[in-house]
Amino acid sequence: MLQQRILRIPSLIYHTGPGLIPRIHIPPLQCVAQIPLSMPHRLPIDRKIVTREFHVNVRKLRDHHFDTLKFVQRLQEEGFSEEQSVALMRAMSDVIEESIQNLTRTMVLKEDQEKITYNQKVDFSKLRSELTNVHASELKPLRADQERLTSEISRLNARLREEIQRAQSSVRLDLNLEKGRIREESSVHELKIKETDTRIEKEIGDLRGVLEGVKFSTLQWLIGVCTGTAALLLGVWRLLM
């Protein structure tokens, strides 16, 4: 029986310093191999193969976001030792990694944003359909009531307009009749006033005639009295003389 092995090695390689052996970045994954304890040339058919399972965990090495080798070489050119250069490179890598992690905590992936946008659009579509259904189901009776009230108001307005026109016609007729009656009464009163004026003038004329007669009679009486008195005085004077 042939040996079974599972092995996967990525192609990510980075250097830590000049002249150092390159390190291979192997993520922690479970490697399983089934290896028989003995490999005889001939195995009986009924003999069971004894196998062992073992797990290999490799420490995960993080990715660097800049050229570490070039950075270390530049530091060494500036006068730093290899240990100092590597330490500075690691510190710089830690700072950059922490900054990127802090930045990515507050960021959203494009796929998540598209998913959220799609969910919001779906929710808005559902809300729009629900509002449309509510508008159709709840506002339809209100619209019917509104139309009924509008028709009733129109009918009441027409009835009120007719009543107002009828009242105005009745008032106009009453006013015209009252004006005619007042004109007739005024003409009757004017005739009576004219008759009264004529009667008064006639009475005044009669009174003037009576006064003239009385005045003439009084003058005649006064003349008679004066004449009698003068005759009497003359007779007395003759007697005395």
Q: What is the pLDDT of residues 54-103, one digit of tens each?
A: 344 444 445 556 788 888 888 889 888 888 888 988 888 888 888 888 88
Number of domains in the chain: 2
Asked if residue 101 is part of any domain, the answer here is yes
pLDDT band at 157 (very low <50, low <70, confident <90, very high): very high
Same domain, 123 and 102: no
pLDDT (average), residues 222-237: 87
Asked if residue 217 is part of any domain, the answer here is no
Task: Please answer whether residues 53 and 40 qualify as being in contact, where contact means their C-beta atoms are separated by less than 8 angstroms.
Answer: no
Asked if residue 88 is part of any domain, the answer here is yes
Asked if residue 212 is part of any domain, the answer here is no
pLDDT (average), residues 94-114: 81
- Vertex 205: Cα angle to 199 and 210 (nearest 5): 125
Cα dihedral 180→185→186→190 (10° resolution): 140
pLDDT at 151: 92
Q: Where among 153, 178, 203 does a domain terminate?
A: 178
Same domain, 131 and 64: no
Asked whether the predicted pLDDT for residue 186 surpasses 60, the reply is yes
Distance CA 114, CA 156 (A): 59
Asked if residue 172 is part of any domain, the answer here is yes
Same domain, 79 and 124: no
Contacts of residue 25, Cβ cutoff 8 Å, sequence gap at least 6: 10, 12, 13, 14, 60, 61, 63
pLDDT band at 149 (very low <50, low <70, confident <90, very high): very high
Same domain, 84 and 29: yes
| pTM of the complete model | 0.30
Domain coverage including residue 35: 4-107
